[in-house]
């Protein structure tokens, strides 16, 4: 979604306003592949098992904005905006994998030097449940300069900090052998952006007393990701292992916001806002799957130890927003004629 969530795209020159909103949120992030199987003659082909997927799980969002005029530049009004949002999505997935003569299901340690994996025998079943909690948030300050005929559009430049915080818990068991894995994966984005927005299709909606606005936004960000994992295995090879990793990179974050607004009076407006935001860099964990058992390696491992890789992400939000003017009536835009 745009480099900042829940910006309505509209501008009210000369008006000090407060906007609050709430609605639904979706986020598309890399899937989690923690467990694994080995198949084939001698169990030589290793395959990772998907243990969690947040795609399609609907969460919620809260957002707000404060705008106020600061003067003019070259005869064009300038507005300052302080805005932010928080969105949360939770996903709960489960799987079962039954061992056969040709298939071994396993839970591997997060480090290649761990005590080893817990494996199924013939007829034994691995059952796992994964709970994943994702928080997506941002806070920004920007300046907007009105432009165009009738000053119906604007350009904006701002700076913001945003985050994608993921907390995951995996519980797995093979008979009485139990394994628990917990993970904190927090990503911060620090950067600056530019935006262009304003009214569009004004004549199409004016007869209904509605106003439509758009906003296009993009920015470059420094990325800082921190990972903390804890692996606890019971059974013939008990193990308690913790691991901390970090990764730094750069990312582009950009997107589009569309709004349909109804002005109910000089001080009050209600709007429906949709936003889609693209992240060029989000973390993707590559978990150790050396497939060891009692220190002996089976099959061909894909990852020797756990590491942080990357992929892209997408966040979607739909909000109902209330805007309230704080100043005298004569400063504010009047309701559109029906």
With respect to residue 2, please indicate whether it lies within any of the assigned structural domains: no
Position 11 in a domain: no
Q: Is position 235 within any domain?
A: yes
Q: Please say whether the beta carbons of 28 and 1 come within 8 A.
A: no
For 62-90, the pLDDT digits (tens) are 999 999 888 888 788 899 999 999 999 99
The enclosing domain of 251 has a CATH number of 2.40.128
The lowest-confidence range among 44-48, 125-129, 255-259, 271-275 is: 44-48
Q: Is residue 188 part of a domain?
A: yes
Domain range enclosing 51: 17-331
Question: How confident is the model at residue 9, as a pLDDT?
Answer: 47
- Residue 73 domain flag: yes
The reported pLDDT for the residue numbered 65 is: 95
DSSP letter assigned to residue 149: G
Residue with tokens 């761990």: 114
Domains held by the chain: number: 1
| b/e burial code for range 78-116 (CB count within 10 A of at least 16 → b) | bbebebbbbbbbebebebebebeeebbbbbbbbbbebbb
> Is residue 4 a part of any domain in this protein?
no
Main-chain phi, psi angles of 290, to 5 degrees: -65, -15
């Amino acid at each position: 979604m745009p480099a900042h969530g829940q910006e309505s795209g509209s501008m009210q020159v000369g008006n000090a306003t407060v906007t609050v909103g709430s609605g639904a949120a979706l986020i598309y992030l890399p899937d989690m592949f923690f467990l694994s199987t080995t198949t084939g003659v001698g169990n030589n082909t290793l395959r990772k098992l998907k243990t969690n997927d947040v795609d399609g799980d609907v969460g919620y969002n809260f957002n707000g904005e404060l705008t106020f005029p600061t003067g003019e530049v070259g005869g064009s009004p300038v507005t300052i905006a302080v805005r932010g949002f928080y969105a949360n999505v939770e996903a709960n997935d489960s799987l079962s994998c039954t061992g056969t003569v040709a298939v071994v299901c396993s839970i591997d340690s997060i480090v290649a030097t761990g005590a080893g994996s817990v494996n199924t025998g013939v007829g034994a079943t691995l059952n796992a449940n994964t709970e994943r909690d994702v928080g997506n948030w941002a806070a920004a300050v920007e300046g907007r300069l009105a432009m165009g005929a009738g000053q119906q559009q604007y350009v904006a430049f701002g700076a913001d900090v945003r985050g994608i915080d993921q907390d995951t818990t995996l519980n797995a068991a093979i008979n009485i052998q139990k394994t628990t894995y917990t993970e904190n994966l927090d990503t911060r984005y620090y950067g600056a952006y530019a935006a262009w927005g304003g009214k569009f299709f004004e004549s199409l909606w004016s007869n209904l007393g509605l106003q439509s606005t758009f906003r296009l936004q993009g920015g470059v960000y420094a990325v800082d990701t921190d990972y903390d994992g804890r692996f606890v295995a019971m059974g013939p090879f008990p193990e308690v292992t913790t691991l901390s990793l970090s990764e730094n990179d750069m990312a582009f974050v950009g997107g589009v916001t569309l709004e349909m607004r109804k002005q109910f009076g000089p001080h009050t407006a209600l709007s429906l806002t949709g936003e889609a935001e693209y992240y060029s860099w989000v973390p993707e964990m590559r978990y150790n799957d050396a497939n060891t058992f009692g220190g002996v390696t089976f099959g061909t491992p894909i990852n020797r130890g756990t590491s942080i890789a990357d992929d892209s992400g997408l966040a979607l939000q739909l909000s109902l927003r209330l805007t309230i003017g704080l100043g005298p009536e004569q400063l504010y835009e009047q309701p559109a004629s029906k």
